[in-house]
């Protein structure tokens, strides 16, 4: 078992609307990894939060007729409360309007400046507010941003530039030395070829904006939202904390991978700070093939799904159904199928049967039969391997393999008909031990379910005593 520090982050989300299941997906992925490491004995820091210093915050506040501060306070609270309801095990919730962040951004900017990597220049280009980024002419479709279906605005102003182009070779060397830096691997290839094609310097400030962190010593400029937002990962644990132990994993979506895998490491190199261990990127959840997005308006509310399928039902579906890194089309039909099939009939039924049969016995003791010990060891090994590769669906499949093994054993042995006390009690000891192992592996994925089964499975020293349990996953019609 590894034991050490583990620091994982989600993106900080824009607050122009409430969370949808796309955001919940990225956050749940980070949560599973955080819980997985915690289970292995690591001391986990898990940071999430909100990105407030964006133009879209100002626009949304105006649209709601609210003062900007009041709007951001309200929305920050709403985001945090969604993560609480979904039982996300974050250890820090960061807002980019907090003094601790503003200070860190100031320090960071001063470091880039001291390295000679910031200079003033004129910028002209097409700005997409949905992306909070400039787009190239050739990225547009009929003059519109293809992702947000909006027309970018033409901007011409004096900005501070970050000398990203200086870091092209250093980045490529770094990628070479760290073949795991970006996962899944096909995404890493995209990043590498992007950098190989040549990097342009990026605009790192905006002129004359009312909202955002002012550039140190130049209050007519505010720091560009990304140059500010990325630094949140440091603000969360402090500069010293980052120097001692930078993020192990930044979990993001594929839309913001370049910011995290290209610009962010270059910023850190410039600032003389250590680089994160890995950036992992999920694909998009789509509806009928179109990206789910608050800008487009085709969103599904995670709280609504969680109310009907449970937090664990939502987690299970997202992690099992969508291969990590790829896009996945959301449909409630598929969700229902997974829920009724794998959870209600599969795990729920198996756990209920074992607990009910064993509850009729005195404390169960014995020695685990070899086939069971092997099933558990194989499960643990496969799940660990799959988790290291971020193959969440396959890790779950390895656990479900053990459930099927147990189910088959119950059916073949017809435990409920076994009259020989010694044989029946040995069989039930095997099954209860199997269930215990399954629950331990499942806990990072389905924490609430694992806790319920765990409560009904009392392991006392060498023995196990069980209780019957309420239905874990009531069927959904």
The residues that touch ligand MSP, with contacts defined as CB under 6 A, are: 11-14, 22-23, 25-26, 51, 229-230, 232, 252-253, 255-256, 282, 284-285, 291-293
Closest to ligand MSP by CB, 96 vs 466, is 96
Closest to ligand MSP by CB, 150 vs 345, is 150
Q: How far is the CB of 119 from ligand MSP (least distance, A)?
A: 24
Closest to ligand MSP by CB, 11 vs 184, is 11
Closest to ligand MSP by CB, 13 vs 93, is 13
Closest to ligand MSP by CB, 129 vs 413, is 129
Contacts of 238 (CB under 8 A, 6+ apart): 100, 104
Closest to ligand MSP by CB, 37 vs 294, is 294
* Cα–Cα distance measured from residue 198 to residue 194, given in angstroms and rounded to the nearest whole number: 7
Write the DSSP assignment of 253-314 as a string of letters.
Answer: EGGGHHIIIIIHHHHHHHHT-PPPSEEEEE--EEETTEEP-TTTT----HHHHHHHHHHHHH
Q: How far is the CB of 103 from ligand MSP (least distance, A)?
A: 17
Q: How far is the CB of 214 from ligand MSP (least distance, A)?
A: 19
Helix (H) or strand (E) holding 108: helix 99-114
Residue with tokens 């501070």: 160
* Cα pseudo-dihedral 322, 327, 330, 333, rounded to 10: -50
Q: How far is the CB of 400 from ligand MSP (least distance, A)?
A: 24
The pair of structure tokens assigned to 146 is: 């293809």
What's the alpha-carbon Rg for the chain, to the nearest Å? 25
Neighbours of 45 (CB within 10 A): 20
The pair of structure tokens assigned to 324 is: 């990590």
* Cα–Cα distance measured from residue 312 to residue 52, given in angstroms and rounded to the nearest whole number: 30
Closest to ligand MSP by CB, 198 vs 289, is 289
The pair of structure tokens assigned to 151 is: 């027309």
Q: How far is the CB of 447 from ligand MSP (least distance, A)?
A: 21
Closest to ligand MSP by CB, 76 vs 431, is 76
Closest to ligand MSP by CB, 9 vs 426, is 9
- Pairing label, strands 218-223, 205-207: antiparallel
Q: How far is the CB of 122 from ligand MSP (least distance, A)?
A: 26
Burial class (CB in 10 A: 0-12, 13-18, 19+), 87: middle
Q: How far is the CB of 419 from ligand MSP (least distance, A)?
A: 55
The CA–CA distances, whole Å, from 312 to 333, 339, 384, 453, 456 equal: 17, 10, 20, 13, 18
Q: How far is the CB of 239 from ligand MSP (least distance, A)?
A: 17
Burial class (CB in 10 A: 0-12, 13-18, 19+), 277: middle
Nearest in space to 203 (alpha carbons), one of 115, 102, 124, 104: 124
Q: How far is the CB of 36 from ligand MSP (least distance, A)?
A: 19
* Cα pseudo-dihedral 4, 323, 320, 1, rounded to 10: -20
Closest to ligand MSP by CB, 13 vs 473, is 13
Q: How far is the CB of 83 from ligand MSP (least distance, A)?
A: 13
């Amino acid at each position: 078992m590894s034991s050490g520090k583990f620091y994982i982050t989600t993106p900080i989300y824009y607050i122009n609307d409430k969370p949808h299941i796309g955001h919940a997906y990225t956050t749940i992925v980070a949560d599973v990894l955080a819980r997985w490491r915690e289970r292995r004995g690591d001391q986990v820091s898990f940071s999430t939060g909100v990105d407030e210093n964006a133009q879209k915050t100002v626009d949304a506040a105006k649209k709601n007729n609210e003062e900007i501060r009041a709007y951001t306070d309200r929305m920050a609270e709403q985001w945090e409360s969604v993560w609480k309801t979904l039982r996300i095990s974050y250890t820090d919730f960061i807002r980019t309007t907090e003094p601790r962040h503003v200070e860190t951004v100031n320090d960071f900017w001063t470091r880039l400046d001291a390295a000679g990597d910031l200079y003033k220049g004129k910028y002209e280009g097409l700005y997409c507010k949905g992306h909070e980024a400039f787009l190239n002419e050739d990225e547009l479709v009929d003059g519109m941003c293809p992702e947000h279906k909006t027309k970018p605005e033409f901007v011409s102003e004096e900005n501070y530039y970050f000398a990203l182009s200086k870091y092209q070779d250093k980045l490529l060397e770094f990628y070479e030395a760290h073949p795991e830096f970006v996962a899944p691997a096909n995404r890493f290839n995209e990043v590498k070829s992007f950098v190989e094609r040549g990097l342009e310097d990026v605009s790192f400030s905006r002129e004359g904006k009312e909202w955002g962190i002012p550039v140190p010593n130049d209050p007519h400029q505010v720091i560009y939202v990304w140059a500010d937002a990325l630094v949140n990962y440091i603000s969360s644990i402090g500069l010293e904390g980052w120097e001692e132990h930078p993020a192990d994993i930044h979990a993001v979506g594929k839309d913001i991978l370049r910011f995290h895998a290209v610009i962010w490491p270059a910023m850190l190199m410039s600032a003389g700070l250590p680089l994160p261990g890995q950036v992992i990127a999920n694909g998009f959840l789509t509806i009928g093939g179109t990206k789910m997005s608050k800008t487009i308006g085709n969103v599904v509310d995670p709280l609504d799904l969680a109310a009907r399928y449970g937090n664990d039902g939502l987690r299970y579906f997202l992690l099992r159904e969508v291969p990590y890194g790829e896009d996945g089309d959301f449909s409630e039909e598929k969700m229902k199928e997974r829920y009724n099939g794998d959870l209600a009939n599969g795990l729920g039924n198996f756990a209920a049967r074992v607990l009910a049969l064993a509850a009729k016995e005195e404390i169960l003791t014995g020695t685990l039969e070899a086939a069971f010990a092997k099933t558990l060891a194989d499960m643990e090994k496969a799940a660990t391997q799959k988790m290291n590769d971020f193959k969440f669906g396959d890790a779950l499949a390895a656990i479900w393999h053990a459930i099927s093994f147990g189910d088959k054993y119950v059916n073949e042995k017809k435990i409920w008909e076994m009259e020989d006390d010694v044989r029946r009690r040995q069989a039930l000891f095997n099954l209860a031990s199997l269930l215990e192992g399954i629950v331990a592996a499942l806990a990072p994925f389905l924490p609430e379910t694992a806790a319920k089964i765990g409560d009904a499975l009392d392991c006392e020293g060498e023995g196990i005593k069980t209780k019957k349990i309420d239905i874990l996953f009531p069927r959904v019609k």
